[in-house]
């Protein structure tokens, strides 16, 4: 995460063991409608969404800026249930992550 993303999300870098990643998928641009409550973080819909979001049974770390596609990495056995990041080549990364997991 860049310095600005760390500030906006109120969170430092995250390291997740590969064994705790259960898959990845690309979300649509209205993903933020279903995030839940932001605790803490920054939320400027359609511009910047960053921080920890809580919803019953779900805890997500989100860092997205306008113009980016949305990659969700599903986790198990970690503090977060999912990581939701904005990147320009989300489809390619979702394929790489899923292929690596199924190939192990």
Inter-residue long-range contacts of 28-37, CB under 8 Å, 24+ positions, other chains counted:
28/70, 29/70, 31/64, 31/70, 31/72, 31/84, 32/62, 32/64, 35/60, 35/62, 35/84, 36/60
Which residue ranges make up each domain of the chain?
Answer: 3-103
Q: What confidence tens digit (pLDDT) does each residue in 27-79 have? A: 998 888 888 888 888 878 778 888 899 999 999 999 898 899 999 999 999 99
Find out whether the peptide bond into 27 is cis, omega within 30 degrees of 0: no
Q: Which residue has the higher pLDDT, 60 or 5?
A: 60
The sign of the CA dihedral 52, 40, 7, 46 is positive
């Amino acid at each position: 995460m860049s310095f600005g993303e760390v500030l906006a999300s109120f969170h430092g870098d995250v390291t997740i063991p590969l064994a705790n990643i259960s898959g990845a998928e690309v979300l649509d641009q209205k993903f933020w409608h279903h995030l839940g409550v932001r605790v803490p973080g920054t939320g400027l819909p359609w511009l910047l969404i960053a921080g920890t979001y809580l919803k019953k049974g779900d805890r997500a770390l989100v860092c997205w800026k306008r113009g980016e596609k949305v990659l969700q990495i599903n986790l198990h056995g970690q503090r977060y249930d999912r990581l939701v990041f904005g990147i320009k080549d989300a489809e390619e990364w979702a394929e790489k992550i899923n292929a690596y997991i199924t190939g192990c």
